Amino acid sequence: MSLSVVILAAGKGTRMKSSLPKVLHTIADKPMVEHVIDAARFLDAENIYLVYGFGGDILKAKVTGDDLTFVEQKEQLGTGHAVDMASPHLKDDENVLVLYGDVPLTRVSTLERLIAAKPDNGMSLLTVTVDNPTGYGRIVRDYGQVVGIVEQKDASQEQLLIQEINSGILYANGADLKRWLSNLSNDNAQGEYYLTDIIAACHAEGKLIETAHPDIAIETEGANDRVQLATLERAFQLREAEHLMIQGASLRDPHRIDIRGKLVIGQEVKIDINCIFEGEVVLADGVKVGANCILKDCTIGEFAEIKPNTIIDGAVIGDQCSVGPFARIRPDSVMNRNSHVGNFVEMKKSTLGEGSKSGHLTYLGDANIGKNVNIGAGTITCNYDGANKSQTIIADEAFIGSNSSLVAPVYVGENATIGAGSVIAKDVEKEQLAVARGKQRNIEGWQRPTKK
């Protein structure tokens, strides 16, 4: 039987104190609702219906996909009313999963457990037992069987003692769900149409209500303010850290890592504190990442070492390379095997050949550098003339002296040497020495300026 997913995303999120719809606030740099959509996609949902209200235009601009159908809830009259907005789209002969756009940490495995729990004649409900159920709808059972849900404001003193609570996430047949929704009443303390009332309706028809449970309670928690959002962020990051450690990574402190995309690791990877991984990052076997590094959309080769406070963005770092500390490797840069850049070296759209090194205080922009080249401290490839970018080519085994400026376009040949402090604006051929300095003058009796 086919699956459709209804995601409730109409809340304004007043307590967020924001102009954004609540579901667009991010966990790991991705809107909460996108985490929920991703889960629906993993389940191979045939249709995904996104019920929106406040900030609909912003939501549609931020969240896209051919498999998404946006359904407007013009008036926020409760969760039952929200799901009912999608009823015209739902088919009788399909099953429907109801999710929440501000509950981003529910695992796919938990949802699969919920789906498997559904009886042929009835529905399944995701519940969780907590120490403090205040504010949540309580699961009411009779001889172990679920017979209904009572909301906090409508609960009796006895019902308030129940610790099994409703997550709101449920799975039911399309025809059943539409029938139950059409009969909802708003005769309650809130004057709203509660989705939870369909549980009692299901029981009244003699149908079964089975429950499934998440591995940890945080899977069912939402974010109504920025404090709760931060709690979910830390829970997400700790879960990602645990996954890395299970795969064999060594983390200096699992509580101080941020993964904001997809991180793929090999064996014997070591990651120090306060590292951020964005986009798609691959760390091969034996990679070491020092403290306070930011790695974005990059590939790091085997046994490479990324030293502390280094930023790598859109680059490829080869096997056994050494980068940093305090280096910045910008997009379209490639460091080949066993090459090295040190502190305060920046590369942009450049290639550093095998065994080549640039130890300190250097800018390499639009440069193609061969094998075993030495780049002295303070070297600059002057790649921009104010209108156009030009390339610097440095052949194998060249030696670039400290504090040199290579004015592109320029070529430095194999085994050539550039004397320290030179400004090179003309090609230097193979094995030549180029020295381009102004004539030194030593002036006797020079008086330094004094402060006026």
**Residue ranges at the known binding site for UDP-N-acetyl-alpha-D-glucosamine:** 8-11, 22, 73, 78-79, 100-102, 137, 151, 166, 224, 330, 348, 363, 374
Residues involved in catalysis: 360
Binding-site residues for Mg(2+), please? 102, 224
CA pair distance 340, 192, nearest whole angstrom: 64
Place of tokens 């998440």: 214
Long-range contacts of 239-248 (CB under 8 A, 24+ apart): 239/105, 240/28, 244/269, 244/271
Question: How far is Cα 277 from Cα 283, in angstroms, rounded to an integer?
Answer: 11
> String of b and e for 325-358 (b: at least 16 CB within 10 Å)?
bbbbbbeebbbbbbbbbbbbbbbbbbbbbbbbbb
Q: Pick from 172, 164, 169: which is nearest to 119 by CA?
A: 172
Q: What is the dihedral of CA 104, 110, 111, 112, to 10 degrees?
A: 150
Q: Which of 351, 265, 342 is nearest to 309 (CA)?
A: 342
Contacts of 51 by beta carbon, 8 Å cutoff, 6+ apart: 6, 7, 8, 9, 10, 71, 72, 73, 82, 83, 85, 86
Cα 369 → chain centroid: 34
d(CA 263, CA 276): 10
Residues 6+ apart with CB under 8 A from 188: 151, 153, 154, 194
Q: How far apart are CA 40 and CA 224, in angstroms?
A: 22
Determine the Cα–Cα distance for residues 3 and 189; give it in Å rounded to an integer.
34
Cα–Cα nearest to 6, from 88, 93, 66: 88
Binding residues for acetyl-CoA: 377, 383-384, 402, 420, 437
C-alpha to C-alpha distances, 368 to 99, 154, 340, nearest whole angstrom: 52, 72, 15
Please provide the DSSP assignment of 65-109 as one string: -TTEEEEE-SS---HHHHHHTTGGG--TTSEEEEEETT-TT--HH
- As annotated, the binding site includes 8-11, 22, 73, 78-79, 100-102, 137, 151, 166, 224, 330, 348, 363, 374, 377, 383-384, 402, 420, 437
CB atoms within 10 A of CB 240: 18
d(CA 192, CA 431): 84
